[in-house]
Amino acid sequence: MRKNKAMIFWFCLPALLSLVIMFVYPVTRTVIMSFFQVESVTATTADWSFYGLGNYTKIFGSASFMTSMRNMLLIWIVGGVITLALAMLMAVVVTSGIRGKKFFRAAIYMPNIISAVALATMWIQYIFNYDYGLLNEIVQLFGGDKVKWLGTDLKFWAMTGSFIFGSVGYYMLIYISGIEGIPQDLYEAATIDGAGKGRQFFDITLPLLKGVIKTSITFWSINTTTFFLWTKMFSPIDTESSTIVPVIYLYDMVFGGKGITTRDAGAGAAVGVVLTLIIIAVYLVTEQLFKGSDLEY
Amino acid sequence: MKKILSVLLAAVMVLTMLAGCSSKPEPTPDSDPSNTPANSTTPSNSSEPTPGGKQYDGVTLTMWSMWSTGEPQANVITEAAKAFEEKTGAKVNIEFKGRDVNKVLAASLEAGEKFDIFEDDYKRIGTVYQDFTYDLTDMAKAVNYDSFSYKCFTDQSIAWAGYLNAITEQPNVGGIFYDKDAFSKAGVTAEPKTWAEFLDACQKLKDAGIGPLAQDSAYADFAFYHTLVRYLGEDKIAELDQNGGWSGTAAEQAAQDIIDLRNKGFLADGAPDEYPSSQNKIGFGQAAMVICADYVTAEVNGTTGTQVNWGLFNYPAVDGGVDNGAAYMGANSLAITKYSENAQAAFDFIIFLTTGEMGQKLADEAHQIPADSRNTAPADLTGTIETLQAAQSPMTWCASLSVNADLKDSIKSLCVELFEGKYATGADFCAALDALY
């Protein structure tokens, strides 16, 4: 037994060291840094000066940060509801025994294998384009006036819509795997008992997918808090308040933006800590809401 | 036996991992050049050739480039590195890191990363990296740099950093770039000098069925900045940007000018549009002018596949303006790390790249203003060398609107809204600006 314990230690050591060096150390350093005034992310601790909650006061008093938080919240709630609902709907349709199941599954998942940069370019240049974009072609077909989809009023929603388009397939696959794991006997028994498709969905599929839904909400929360590339694509030259999200605010704060030569790694660390706390909070709430959802069947 | 074997295996795994985390090994002559540290070879601060060899035999330089592989600038730099090696014996390893190199430069310099030369905007070199850059004053003097460089950039670099720490690679001038053929078609015979003349030219262009001014939202703040600087000057803008109090100042008139411009229908159809849709309209003959820096000419020509007959004039003067001659001038420049052990070789390579034959090639291939004023500008950029030589104090790229970094994004969005026609009067716009504070 003692021999085995030694083995366990030696075999765990590389992984433990990796964890400490690549995860525990940076996280601890970032948390500590958020309480100090630090200009550069690589500054030695000798250059840090204690700032208390100053960095947190600064970011929560910042109009840009609050705008970025509002944008993130909207993406999380509105985008999340639409994405997860669409993904669930498509997963149910695809697994309902329709013909061409493989085709639909591949087609809906397709945006996930295309580079997000290419996808965003397609939306910006070919769908939202004011002069020859697909949407304005449709609007004009029905006699309407051209719409500025990428104007300050609609740019955020244009970006969110594009992001949803690129995300649905991923969550659909998660739901498909969950649905396919549910024993067919349950549906057959329900059918014999006279339950319709709707009743089967709400009374069998949905309750048995609780664990999968919990996972997908956590994934969506992580995707939303790390939302970066789509903002960069929809604000190609410089950050704009209609598309700014906290990670972009952090990025500009730590590394400086176009025309900005000041840097504040301490405030950036505070943003990182806030985002981490949000993810933890969302995880704990979903754990609580979906308690006892890990069913075995 | 099994126990010993297991312990050995575990030890090998740990050692392998630690080896992966260790610093780079000392290079060998046949090691991968991309991994070779900048100071990996015998330092050679002397310009004297080794007996029987070339001047920098054995010297290896590492350059972090802001361009990406395949770009015209990258191609010329690669070619220059080969030619420099043939000429001097110094090997230049170039790492093309793309535009976002500026996001890692400060941290890398602070960490003492091993590279000799890097590229970035000359303002960042002067104001962010100045503690980590080599003083080039003496080396520049030795090659009589002042005689072929642009004084406005040299003076500005020294003003920012306290010493010369950047050599201009890609100078830029800003203003109103226009399609000469569109002007001729509309009967605009002279470049507008005043706001009234500018409005008159816009009217003629509109009457001729050409959208007068292209405007992408990405550059809305830059365009408005021109008007603002004329009415207020950069120092006053910086003060207002920091503390607010825009209402009641000449900023109201500046905003009103843009509102009038829009209300008269002088913006191209769809403007402000998403970059680069509006500026591309010049290539398609649907718009005549755009407020931008000189690279817009290459962008439009390249994207639309046309050869626009470009002209450039400075943003028009306004009545009662305090800085009517302000014109944007900027540069991407090259700098040498303070800790480079081959600074002289690095400097010689920079001069080799930016002047003479290679400098001309860079200007021609990348369609840019030559960094060497003795060279010739591409046809579309004729006159830009003289403009830069005559310039005293360059206007920055919205620097005064970036003083309050926290409000920069919000102010930019308000500028876009100004061009979108969201504000009825200049006073409304300034009130919206003040509401941010």
B368/B374 Cα distance (integer angstroms)? 14
Domains and CATH numbers, chain A: 49-289 (1.10.3720.10)
A70/A59 Cα distance (integer angstroms)? 13
Q: Evaluate whether residue B1 is within a structural domain.
A: no
Q: B421: left (phi > 0), else alpha (psi -120 to 50), else beta?
A: left
Asked whether the beta carbons of residue A131 and residue B17 sit closer than 8 angstroms, the reply is: no
- B180 and B282 part of one domain: yes
Which residues, other chains included, contact B273 with Cβ-Cβ below 8 Å and sequence gap of 6+? Answer: A130, A150, B214, B215, B216, B217
Instruction: Work out whether strand B117-121 and strand B91-96 pair parallel, antiparallel, or are unpaired.
Output: unpaired
CATH number of the domain residue B184 falls in: 3.40.190.10
- B344 and B400 part of one domain: no
Helices (H), chain A: 2-19, 25-33, 54-60, 63-74, 80-94, 101-113, 116-121, 134-141, 155-180, 184-192, 197-200, 206-208, 210-225, 229-234, 246-255, 265-289
Q: Which residue has the higher pLDDT, A256 or B301?
A: B301
Specify the range with the lowest mean pLDDT, choosing from B14-18, B38-42, B198-202, B332-336.
Answer: B38-42
Q: What is the torsional sign of CA B161, B163, B166, B170?
A: positive
Asked whether the beta carbons of residue A14 and residue B6 sit closer than 8 angstroms, the reply is: no
Is this prediction's ipTM beyond 0.95? no
Domain that holds residue B197: 174-328+394-434
B84-120: pLDDT as tens digits: 999 999 999 999 998 888 888 988 998 899 999 999 9
Q: Is residue B71 predicted with pLDDT exceeding 70?
A: yes
Distance from CA of A224 to the nearest CA of B (A): 20
Q: What is the mean pLDDT of chain B?
A: 88
Could you tell me where the beta strands, DSSP code E, fall in B302-414? 310-313, 329-336
- What is the predicted pLDDT for the residue at B21? 47
- What is the predicted pLDDT for the residue at A102? 84
The whole-number average pLDDT for the span B340-369 is 95
User: B332: how many CB neighbours lie within 10 A of its CB?
Assistant: 22
- B292 and B146 part of one domain: no
Q: Evaluate whether residue B28 is within a structural domain.
A: no
Q: Which of B73, B72, B77 is nearest to B93 (CA)?
A: B77
DSSP-derived 3-state class of residue B87: helix
In DSSP terms, B330 is beta-bridged to B172
Specify the range with the lowest mean pLDDT, choosing from B5-9, B33-37, B404-408.
Answer: B33-37
* A contact residues 184-243, partner B, Cβ 8 Å cutoff: 235-242
* A contact residues 83-122, partner B, Cβ 8 Å cutoff: none
**Which member of B221, B408, B436 has the closest CB to residue A260?**
B408
Q: What is the CA radius of gyration of chain B?
A: 25
B123/B331 Cα distance (integer angstroms)? 8
Give the chain B residue whose CA is nearest to the CA of A123: B274
Q: Is B7 on the interface with A (CB under 8 A)?
A: yes
- What is the predicted pLDDT for the residue at A123? 94
B431/A44 Cα distance (integer angstroms)? 43
- What is the predicted pLDDT for the residue at A107? 87
Where residue B177 falls among pLDDT bands split at 50, 70, 90?
very high
Q: Contacts of residue A64 in chain B, CB cutoff 8 Å?
A: 406-410
Asked whether the beta carbons of residue B420 and residue A255 sit closer than 8 angstroms, the reply is: no
**Which member of B10, B407, B422 has the closest CB to residue A11?**
B10
Q: Is residue B277 predicted with pLDDT exceeding 70?
A: yes
Specify the range with the lowest mean pLDDT, choosing from A97-111, A245-259, B37-51, B340-354.
Answer: B37-51
Q: Tokens representing A49?
A: 């000066």
Give me the amino acid identity at B293.
A
A91/A79 Cα distance (integer angstroms)? 18
Q: Evaluate whether residue B39 is within a structural domain.
A: no
DSSP-derived 3-state class of residue B306: coil
- What is the predicted pLDDT for the residue at A242? 92
A144-201: pLDDT as tens digits: 999 999 999 999 999 999 999 999 999 999 999 999 999 989 999 999 999 888 899 9
Half-sphere exposure of B262 (CA within 13 A, CB side): 24
Question: What CA–CA distances, in Å, run from B201 to A152, A280, B165, B289?
Answer: 29, 60, 43, 11
**Which member of B111, B406, B416 has the closest CB to residue A152?**
B416
Q: Is residue B141 predicted with pLDDT exceeding 80?
A: yes
- What is the predicted pLDDT for the residue at B9? 62
Asked whether the beta carbons of residue A238 and residue B218 sit closer than 8 angstroms, the reply is: yes
**Which member of B274, B397, B407 has the closest CB to residue A64?**
B407
- B158 and B188 part of one domain: no
Q: Which of A231, A147, A150 is nearest to B416 (CA)?
A: A150
- B294 and B400 part of one domain: yes
Residue with the two structure tokens 């600038």: B73
B416/A154 Cα distance (integer angstroms)? 13
Q: Evaluate whether residue B5 is within a structural domain.
A: no
Q: Is residue B189 predicted with pLDDT exceeding 90?
A: yes
**Which member of A63, A146, A237 has the closest CB to residue B410?**
A63
- What is the predicted pLDDT for the residue at B27? 38
B387-396: pLDDT as tens digits: 888 777 788 8
- B266 and B378 part of one domain: no
- Of the residues A11, A122, A139, A152, the best mutation for testing chain B's interface (the one with the most B CB atoms within 10 Å of its CB) is A152
B234/B400 Cα distance (integer angstroms)? 6
A232/A218 Cα distance (integer angstroms)? 24
Q: Evaluate whether residue B52 is within a structural domain.
A: no
Give the chain A residue whose CA is nearest to the CA of B5: A7
B31-45: pLDDT as tens digits: 333 333 333 333 344
- B306 and B335 part of one domain: no
- Look at chain B and report how many structural domains it folds into: 2
A112-123: pLDDT as tens digits: 888 889 999 999
- What is the predicted pLDDT for the residue at B382? 83
A297/A209 Cα distance (integer angstroms)? 12
* A contact residues 137-166, partner B, Cβ 8 Å cutoff: 146, 148, 150-152
- B128 and B178 part of one domain: no
- Of the residues A131, A162, A233, the best mutation for testing chain B's interface (the one with the most B CB atoms within 10 Å of its CB) is A131
Q: Is B42 on the interface with A (CB under 8 A)?
A: no
The whole-number average pLDDT for the span A64-77 is 95
Distance from CA of B90 to the nearest CA of A (A): 31
- B367 and B244 part of one domain: no
User: B289: how many CB neighbours lie within 10 A of its CB?
Assistant: 29
- Burial pattern A130-147, b for ≥16 Cβ within 10 A else e, equals bbebebbeeeeeeeeebb
- B276 and B410 part of one domain: yes
User: A232: how many CB neighbours lie within 10 A of its CB?
Assistant: 16
- What is the predicted pLDDT for the residue at A97? 80
* B contact residues 129-168, partner A, Cβ 8 Å cutoff: none
Asked whether the beta carbons of residue B218 and residue A257 sit closer than 8 angstroms, the reply is: no
Q: Which of B111, B86, B119 is nearest to B23 (CA)?
A: B111
Q: Evaluate whether residue B211 is within a structural domain.
A: yes
**Which member of A11, A260, A263 has the closest CB to residue B402?**
A260
Asked whether the beta carbons of residue A131 and residue B218 sit closer than 8 angstroms, the reply is: no
- B206 and B93 part of one domain: no
Asked whether the beta carbons of residue B398 and residue A259 sit closer than 8 angstroms, the reply is: yes
The whole-number average pLDDT for the span B358-366 is 94
Length of chain A: 297
Q: Evaluate whether residue B15 is within a structural domain.
A: no
Q: Contacts of residue A145 in chain B, CB cutoff 8 Å?
A: none
* The last residue of a domain, from among B362, B385, B408: B385
Q: Is residue B330 predicted with pLDDT exceeding 50?
A: yes
- What is the predicted pLDDT for the residue at B7? 60
Distance from CA of B88 to the nearest CA of A (A): 36
Asked whether the beta carbons of residue B110 and residue A259 sit closer than 8 angstroms, the reply is: no
Q: Is A2 on the interface with B (CB under 8 A)?
A: no
Residue with the two structure tokens 């680069």: B276
Residue with the two structure tokens 């970036």: B402
- What is the predicted pLDDT for the residue at B12? 59
**Which member of B11, B111, B401 has the closest CB to residue A42?**
B111
B36 burial type by CB count under 10 A (0-12 exposed, 13-18 middle, 19+ buried): buried
What does the CA dihedral B92, B97, B102, B108 come to, rounded to 10 degrees?
-60
- What is the predicted pLDDT for the residue at A48? 93
Is the bond preceding residue B316 a cis peptide, omega within 30 degrees? no
Give the chain A residue whose CA is nearest to the CA of B15: A14
Q: Is residue B205 predicted with pLDDT exceeding 70?
A: yes
Name the percent of chain A lying above pLDDT 90: 67
Contact criterion met (CB below 8 Å) for B290 and B177: yes
* B contact residues 353-382, partner A, Cβ 8 Å cutoff: none
Q: Contacts of residue B107 in chain A, CB cutoff 8 Å?
A: 40-42
- B294 and B370 part of one domain: no
Q: Is residue A260 predicted with pLDDT exceeding 90?
A: no
Which residues, other chains included, contact B309 with Cβ-Cβ below 8 Å and sequence gap of 6+? Answer: B179, B180, B181
Q: Tokens representing B181?
A: 């053929």
Specify the range with the lowest mean pLDDT, choosing from A64-73, A88-97, B166-175.
Answer: A88-97
The whole-number average pLDDT for the span B232-250 is 95
Contact criterion met (CB below 8 Å) for B417 and B423: yes
A232-258: pLDDT as tens digits: 999 988 888 999 999 999 998 888 766
Asked whether the beta carbons of residue A237 and residue B275 sit closer than 8 angstroms, the reply is: yes
Q: Evaluate whether residue B120 is within a structural domain.
A: yes
- Of the residues A241, A243, A244, A248, the best mutation for testing chain B's interface (the one with the most B CB atoms within 10 Å of its CB) is A241
